[in-house]
Amino acid sequence: MSRVPGNRASTVLRGPGRGNAPRLPDNTAADHITATQLALAQLPEQARRRVLVRSDSGGGSHEFLAWLTRPGRRLAYSVGFTITDEAQQAIMKIPAGAWTPACDGNGQVRDGAWVAELTGLPGLTGWPKGMRVIIRKERPHPGAQLRFTDIGGHRFTAFATDARTGQLADLELRHRRRARCEDRIRCAKDTGLPNMPLHGFEQNQIWCEIVALACELLAWMAMLALTGPARRWEPKRLRLRPF
């Protein structure tokens, strides 16, 4: 598990747990809860008062959201939401005027993408009170293959959040920026994660722990010691320049 430095924490699931944390099956609510606990443990106590937890649709489960929204936790969430048959039918009923332009990574209007809030969705019983479901609709990139779940030639994705304020496009961009965890995974691979150089499982588990520690040191170094474009340098460039 790795934490992305910044004012708010985002959980990233990978590999074996840290320390004495139990090894759990992938893609379970217990796995997401354990990763979140490990991320929160790395934050100074004063920084745990308001944390945004972001996840893909694997975190969009009743158990995980129930844990996040337990009274006293003060955790906000933005998690992927699976589009069910009921949701698909509800999407088709969204008026054309309800769709607003989505934003690109620079906060500018993105051509060919829109967002809307899916209110009154059937089957939301059992989900946390105040949960909002926001839909993104976009035209696929040239050459992209449509999926059988795509509607009317558009690709749809959804996420759930407890945010009470904010423009839909801003909330959707905030959620989509969780994809920086893919950057961390790429950095981990450049730091030795794909290589299992030892014979025993426990030995390679220690190797993964060393890789995780190196990734965290690089992330904190970028935040505390580097400025400007250098804060986004990845391991290969760091080796050629400051190292």
Please write the tens of the pLDDT for every residue from 47-72.
Answer: 887 899 999 988 999 999 999 999 98
DSSP three-state, residue 52: strand
Please check the confidence at residue 6 and state whether its pLDDT lies above 60: no
DSSP three-state, residue 174: helix
In the chain, domain spans: 2-181, 192-240
The tens digit of pLDDT for each residue in 170-211 reads: 999 999 988 888 888 899 999 999 888 889 999 999 999 999
Please check the confidence at residue 73 and state whether its pLDDT lies above 80: yes
Cα dihedral 152, 78, 30, 217 sign: positive
Check: CB of residue 108 under 8 Å from CB of residue 130.
Answer: no
Q: Mean pLDDT across the chain, nearest whole number?
A: 83
The tens digit of pLDDT for each residue in 135-170 reads: 999 988 777 777 766 667 788 999 999 999 999 999
pLDDT at 123: 66
Kindly state the tokens that stand for 232: 């986004």
User: For the CA atoms of the chain, what is the radius of gyration?
Assistant: 20
Please check the confidence at residue 35 and state whether its pLDDT lies above 60: yes
pTM attached to this predicted model: 0.74
Rounded CA gap, 39 and 11, in Å? 6
Q: Between these two residues, 7 and 108, which has the higher pLDDT value?
A: 108
Kindly state the tokens that stand for 25: 């099956």
